[in-house]
Structure 1
Amino acid sequence: MSRVSLSSPVPLYLQIADSLRDRIARGVWQQGEVIPTLEQIAAEFDVARVTARQAVQLLMSEGALTPQRGRGTFVSATPPIMKPVQVVTTLQALAEMYQATSQQPLTVEESRRKPPVTAADGELAEEYIYMKRVHSSDGLPYCVISLYLDDKIFSMSPDRFRNELVIPILVSLSPQRIAKARQTLTIGSADAETARLLRVPTDAPIARVQRVFNDPDNVVIYYADVVYRGDAVKVEMDLGSVSS
């Protein structure tokens, strides 16, 4: 039996819709194939039939499913393919990657708060602008980023920082301030809020990247916690040749 989380703030029908959507995306349910009945879906997730119907109706409204009278409900659309994001290892390559792609940042929260840095990360600036954003490509969300930018740098071009991708602007406006830049990649699973924003099932695999930029005085001028969809990440490494 598939599971839904009763303690999650995400409604049950949305959790089920995420699971069904994921099956279509992975090809478990292919285009033109009839899906299980509402009774079967309800039994699988141990929910009421009305909850299963809400999930299926949501996918119908998205165009992924189509009902056919007397025949059942069919997969009507192949989900769009997520273009992988290359994990790069230099600041210049990171800026170039962002500049070369058409991404649509959507800010879902903005405030002033301190980044959760440790002493090993560097010294804190006086004040930071915090933005939580969803980055999309071709209309598909592929990462959620929680970023903290030194307010002194933010004030240099607030409109651009609010409406464009931050790293290319930061590199172009203040390259001399970035004395050190590093990132750490870990693998995990999506919590309910991240899953909702990325349109993936709760506990779906994700890649988490922590980025820290420091100025010459070791002050943290940029801190970001970036969560990527698992199917949006591509890691490629040249291992060289084997010597005989």
Structure 2
Amino acid sequence: MRPSSSSPVPLYLQIADTLRDRIARGVWRDGDLIPTLEQIAGEFEVARVTARQAVQLLTVEGALKPMRGRGTYVSAPCAAYQPVHVVTSLDALAETYRNTTPELLTIDEHRRMPAVREQDGTLAGAYTYMRRVHSMGGAPYCVIGLYLEDRLFARSRARFRKETVIPILMEMRPRPMTRAHQTLTIGSADADTAYLLRIPVDAPVARVQRVFNDAAGVIVYYADVVYRGDAVNLEMDLDV
């Protein structure tokens, strides 16, 4: 993608984002020799100094490594996780978690009330809040802040603390939710999320908000999930 001189983002940052994306997608793999500064400058139609700034930025980040007299090599393998497919049913969502078995790192747990919209439903008396990082093969792909109604959490504390929550809820009888809704929006990473996902600040992310309600409209589960932009794959069949 050719950088835009009309964008408020400096040209070298636009080029660095494109090069970083090539590494993330495996176009450039760990140990590959990347094009010269002259070749990069020619591809993006910029001055050589601009290409050098982009390469230097990725070098500082550790994604590239210059070798004197030999060129610059990729020093960061592409992500080890598989893309997360956006699904449109609760059963499919639970199956996704069952099939991936992510590595969980809980970085916070306490009682806390979620900030929700009126149309999301009625709040229960208390919730257990957990903030987690999900990874595959040691590569973090999402940060999730979830609120689980306290009485549900009490039914299986040990499992909720070490496993993904949605498959456990799906196994409960009777099933505690009768309505489920999720919203996907595109945004950019703040400093904290960028640190946890090992991505640059303002890198693209996909934010998914999920709300599960019981028969009375009470929110039994609320989650705010932030995925790396390169970890989400949205596919839809179009009618023809």
Question: Do residues 173 (structure 1) and 172 (structure 2) align?
Answer: yes
One-letter identity of the residue aligned with 1:212 = V
Given that 1:107 and 1:133 are in contact with CA atoms closer than 8 Å, whether structure 2 keeps it comes out as yes
| Counterpart for residue 229 of structure 1 | 228
Given that 2:102 and 2:134 are in contact with CA atoms closer than 8 Å, whether structure 1 keeps it comes out as yes
Question: Do residues 32 (structure 1) and 41 (structure 2) align?
Answer: no
Q: Secondary structure at the match of 1:177?
A: coil
One-letter identity of the residue aligned with 2:53 = E
Given that 2:86 and 2:232 are in contact with CA atoms closer than 8 Å, whether structure 1 keeps it comes out as yes
One-letter identity of the residue aligned with 1:44 = Q
Q: Secondary structure at the match of 2:202?
A: coil
| Counterpart for residue 208 of structure 1 | 207
Given that 2:210 and 2:222 are in contact with CA atoms closer than 8 Å, whether structure 1 keeps it comes out as yes
Q: CA deviation at 1:177?
A: 1.7
Cα gap change, 1:195/1:57 in structure 2, threshold over 3 Å: closer, same or farther?
closer
Cα gap change, 1:177/1:24 in structure 2, threshold over 3 Å: closer, same or farther?
closer
Q: CA deviation at 1:199?
A: 1.3
Question: Do residues 184 (structure 1) and 183 (structure 2) align?
Answer: yes
Q: Cα deviations across residues 57-76 of structure 1 (Å, max 9, x unaligned)?
A: 762xxxx5555455565324
Q: CA deviation at 1:222?
A: 0.2
Cα gap change, 1:107/1:214 in structure 2, threshold over 3 Å: closer, same or farther?
same
Could you tell me how far apart the structure 2 residues matched to 1:19 and 1:158 are? 44
Identity of aligned residues (%): 57
List runs of 5+ in structure 2 lacking aligned partners.
1-9, 38-48
Could you tell me how far apart the structure 1 residues matched to 2:34 and 2:235 are? 35
List runs of 5+ in structure 1 lacking aligned partners.
4-15
| Counterpart for residue 237 of structure 2 | 238
Q: CA deviation at 1:192?
A: 1.2
Could you tell me how far apart the structure 2 residues matched to 1:238 and 1:27 are? 26
Question: Do residues 44 (structure 1) and 53 (structure 2) align?
Answer: yes
Counting only pairs closer than 5 Å after superposition, residues 45-124 of structure 1 correspond to structure 2 as 56=59, 59=62, 64-66=63-65, 68=67, 71=70, 74-80=73-79, 82-124=81-123
Q: Cα deviations across residues 124-168 of structure 1 (Å, max 9, x unaligned)?
A: 111100011111122211111110000100011111101100000
Given that 2:181 and 2:212 are in contact with CA atoms closer than 8 Å, whether structure 1 keeps it comes out as yes
Per the normalisation by structure 1, the TM-score is 0.75
Given that 1:143 and 1:229 are in contact with CA atoms closer than 8 Å, whether structure 2 keeps it comes out as yes
Q: Secondary structure at the match of 1:176?
A: coil
Given that 1:35 and 1:74 are in contact with CA atoms closer than 8 Å, whether structure 2 keeps it comes out as no
Could you tell me how far apart the structure 2 residues matched to 1:108 and 1:22 are? 28
Q: Secondary structure at the match of 2:175?
A: helix
Q: CA deviation at 1:217?
A: 1.3
Given that 1:29 and 1:35 are in contact with CA atoms closer than 8 Å, whether structure 2 keeps it comes out as no
Q: Secondary structure at the match of 1:115?
A: coil
One-letter identity of the residue aligned with 1:33 = I
Per the normalisation by structure 2, the TM-score is 0.76
Cα gap change, 1:33/1:44 in structure 2, threshold over 3 Å: closer, same or farther?
closer
Could you tell me how far apart the structure 2 residues matched to 1:194 and 1:130 are? 17
Matched residues, number: 215
